[in-house]
Amino acid sequence: MVSATTSTTATASSASTTASSSTPTGNASAKSAAANLITSLGTGSGVDVNALANSLVAAEKAPRLTELNGKVSKAEGGISGYSAIKFVLGDLQTAFSNLKNQSSFNALVPQNSQPNAISITTTASATTGSHSVSVTQLAQQQRSISADNVPGFATPLTQVNGGAAFSLVLKNSIDPTPTKVFAQGTSTTPSTSTVTFKAMNKGDTVTLNGLTLTANKSLSASEVGEMFDQLDTTTPAAVAAGGLAASTINSDALATYGAFSGKFATGYSSGVNNNGVLTLTSTANNAADIATPSGSQFANAIAVTADATTPAGIVAAINSANLGVTAQLINTGNIATPYRIMVTGTTGASNAFSLTSLTQAGGEVSGVSFGKKLQTAQDATFNVDGMSMTSSKNTVTDAIAGATLNLTATTTAGVPANLVLTRDTSSISSKMDALITAYNDANSMLGVVSDPKSTVAEYGATLVGNSIVSSVRSQMRQMITSNSTTPSGGLTALRDIGFSIDQTGVLSIDKTKLDSALQNNFDKVVTLVTGNRENQSKYSILPSGVAGEAVKKLTTLLDPSAPLTTQSSNLTTKITDYKKQLADLDTRMTALLARYNKQFAAMDSLVGQSKSLQTSLKSTFDGMMATYTNK
């Protein structure tokens, strides 16, 4: 029994020493526990077998735990490093993108001699130059009010028309009927009929020489003239058919503007439209006049239901109809009947309107009359560089190419506003500065992640000796130093407009050289940097200048299939595997601890039995000695 105890103890001691030898702390702990055990066996005293088992397990677990945790930390650092590089490369890509389009260099600064009358904004398509603008009239909308000559309404809920349903009839006030001037021919000359068209609104109709046009949208007088011009009735087909049938004129393209019905009768053919004026010439000499042209206005009916026959209900019905006019209740301050309904259209003379009420019996609803105009609809009238123009709106987008004029007041009489558009090189210089900053930030980050002595939190020394870092740094440098794919007039690379990289890799720019290039060789600088491209695809093989090529390269570097992303993904996969190994290690060590505890419990029992035998033998020997010595 003693022999078995000694053997078990020797085995446990050996295991403890072996498992803890990999670390100084674990080794010392295991040796101490083993020494205590040996002493206990010699003296027969108790031993802390639980502490011994835990020390042995800790000694065996520590080296593998340290190794795996180190791998996890390194992988997490690598992911942080790759993320940091991608972040700064994204900023560099943005900086190059702001310079890759030809329009990026087209920023203009407008100077305006009468800013109280006109404001101007420009787009990338605007060009430098000066313009003279006079404004003689602003566009405005029609405003009409109800019940001008009769009492208004006491409250917003005052009942009208006795509570019976009725309708409102909305028409455009512009009569589309064309005018005509006839010139009788002679026996040797044809007759002519000169027709002057008017603007049409959607749904309006105009009939000329038997052919009727129904407008599918609002049309200017010139557009109406275009619809009727060059109708030739002398062709064999037209003669045989007695004219040009609508079916031979209508088309999908024409349908956007309107649709024809009827037939343009033989006897007259139309000429070329001249801004809404069209001359019809007879096919025979001394011909009789054509029938007088006619027109009709399309009327929109707005239903006012029985439960909405109040001023508030009328306003709601007008607004919900969404027909280009809006209504609101106003309080005039009248003591008895303060409420009136004001109806407002949209700006422009062609948007004048009439609004009347109609009972089911065909009469007008008492108190619901909108004949009083507070303001008349009119177009803006202005002159740009000697050309007289009109607009239905005060925001004009087609008077100066690439510019929008916002008319806010009439200009000083006889004194046009002078608008000067000059190139804004300061904005270009700012974009160049942003590129310098983005490049240097990226280069600095590459240094931080690859420097073994870096102490920067999270990123420092996370990619030491990494070949991807070296590749990215090299490609970045080439973006700046390589020759442009679109050199121009002696400018072959960014160095020719002031860019330089010093020995430490820091990018800088000579502002004097850049400003000189922008002032004296602006178009060449644009070609050098952009290749005169606009929104070029990353898949395009066309040369696209320094900035365009850089954007393509950076897009490739940041692609999900590129090493910066795939390596980061690989590290994420490795971390998952390392954590699984850590979980497996915990499982094995838990099992080992249980085995040690079981073995040491058996050992402790044997030691206890040995101690009991020792005590019994000592008592026996002491009794024998007392017998022989008479003590």
pLDDT of residue 103: 87
β-pairing, 141-145 vs 339-347, is antiparallel
| Contact present, 575 and 75 (Cβ < 8 Å) | yes
Of 439-443, 454-458, 494-498, minimum mean pLDDT range: 454-458
Compute the mean pLDDT over every residue in the chain, rounded to the nearest whole number.
88
Average pLDDT of 10-31?
A: 41
Confidence of residue 17 (pLDDT cuts 50, 70, 90): very low
| Residue 18, pLDDT above cutoff 70 | no
pLDDT of residue 320: 96
Side-chain half-sphere CA neighbours of 171 within 13 A: 15
Tell whether the torsion through CA atoms of 479, 485, 491 and 492 is positive or negative. Answer: positive
pLDDT of residue 600: 79
Q: Considering the entire predicted model, what is its pTM?
A: 0.62
| Residue 499, pLDDT above cutoff 90 | yes
Tens-place pLDDT, residues 367-413: 888 988 999 999 999 999 999 999 999 999 999 998 999 999 999 99
| Residue 46, pLDDT above cutoff 60 | no
Q: What is the 3-state secondary structure (H, E, C) of 276-342?
A: CEEEEEEEEECCCCCCCCEEECCEEEEEECHHHCCHHHHHHHHHHHCCCCEEEEEECCCCCCCEEEE
The Cα diameter of the chain in Å comes to 182
Average pLDDT of 562-579?
A: 94
How far is residue 596's CA from residue 434's CA, in Å, rounded to a whole number? 66
| Residue 631, pLDDT above cutoff 70 | no
| Contact present, 625 and 631 (Cβ < 8 Å) | yes
Q: Bridge-partner residues for 153, per DSSP?
A: 339
pLDDT of residue 195: 97
Average pLDDT of 109-127?
A: 91
- Which residue shows structure tokens 């455009």? 172
Confidence of residue 606 (pLDDT cuts 50, 70, 90): confident
CB atoms within 10 A of CB 378: 19
pLDDT of residue 185: 96
Average pLDDT of 234-263?
A: 95
How far is residue 545's CA from residue 338's CA, in Å, rounded to a whole number? 70
Average pLDDT of 533-547?
A: 92
| Residue 547, pLDDT above cutoff 80 | yes
Q: How far is CA 325 from CA 303, 317, 351, in A?
A: 15, 11, 9
Q: How far is CA 614 from CA 42, 546, 609, in A?
A: 11, 95, 9
348 phi/psi in degrees, rounded to 5: 110, 140
Confidence of residue 292 (pLDDT cuts 50, 70, 90): very high
How far is residue 425's CA from residue 103's CA, in Å, rounded to a whole number? 13
Q: Helix (H) and strand (E) counts for the chain?
A: 13, 26
| Chain centre distance of CA 18 | 65
Average pLDDT of 299-321?
A: 95
Could you give the angle at the alpha carbon of 200 between the alpha carbons of 194 and 205, nearest 5°?
A: 80
| Contact present, 384 and 130 (Cβ < 8 Å) | no
Confidence of residue 107 (pLDDT cuts 50, 70, 90): confident
Of 170-179, 342-351, 594-603, minimum mean pLDDT range: 594-603
- Which residue shows structure tokens 């850049």? 514
Average pLDDT of 20-29?
A: 44
Query: Which of the 8 DSSP states describes residue 486?
Result: S
pLDDT of residue 539: 87
Q: Bridge-partner residues for 391, per DSSP?
A: 380
- Which residue shows structure tokens 């969404």? 322
CB atoms within 10 A of CB 116: 11
How far is residue 373's CA from residue 224's CA, in Å, rounded to a whole number? 28
pLDDT of residue 148: 63
Confidence of residue 25 (pLDDT cuts 50, 70, 90): very low
Tell whether the torsion through CA atoms of 353, 359, 363 and 369 is positive or negative. Answer: negative
| Residue 346, pLDDT above cutoff 80 | yes
For residues 556-569, one letter each, b for 16 or more C-beta atoms within 10 angstroms of the residue's C-beta and e for the rest, the string is ebbeeeebbbebbe
Tell whether the torsion through CA atoms of 101, 542, 88 and 439 is positive or negative. Answer: negative
Confidence of residue 2 (pLDDT cuts 50, 70, 90): very low
Select the more confidently predicted residue: 625 or 577: 577
- Which residue shows structure tokens 């999908």? 252
Burial of 620 (0-12, 13-18, 19+ CB in 10 A): exposed
| Residue 164, pLDDT above cutoff 70 | yes
Alpha-helix runs per DSSP H in 482-544: 511-520, 522-530
Rg of the chain over all Cα atoms, to the nearest angstrom: 48
Could you give the angle at the alpha carbon of 141 between the alpha carbons of 335 and 345, nearest 5°?
A: 75
| Residue 7, pLDDT above cutoff 70 | no
Average pLDDT of 504-514?
A: 95
Of 2-6, 62-66, 462-466, 504-508, minimum mean pLDDT range: 2-6
Q: What is the 3-state secondary structure (H, E, C) of 422-468?
A: EECHHHHHHHHHHHHHHHHHHHHHHHHHHCCCCCCCCCCCCCCCCHH
Confidence of residue 452 (pLDDT cuts 50, 70, 90): very high
Side-chain half-sphere CA neighbours of 625 within 13 A: 6
Tens-place pLDDT, residues 174-193: 889 999 999 999 999 999 99
| Contact present, 555 and 538 (Cβ < 8 Å) | yes
Domain assignments of the chain as residue spans, ordered by start: 17-74+575-629, 76-103+426-565, 108-139+380-423, 141-173+299-375, 179-296
Tens-place pLDDT, residues 409-428: 999 999 999 999 998 899 99
pLDDT of residue 43: 39
How far is residue 408's CA from residue 105's CA, in Å, rounded to a whole number? 30
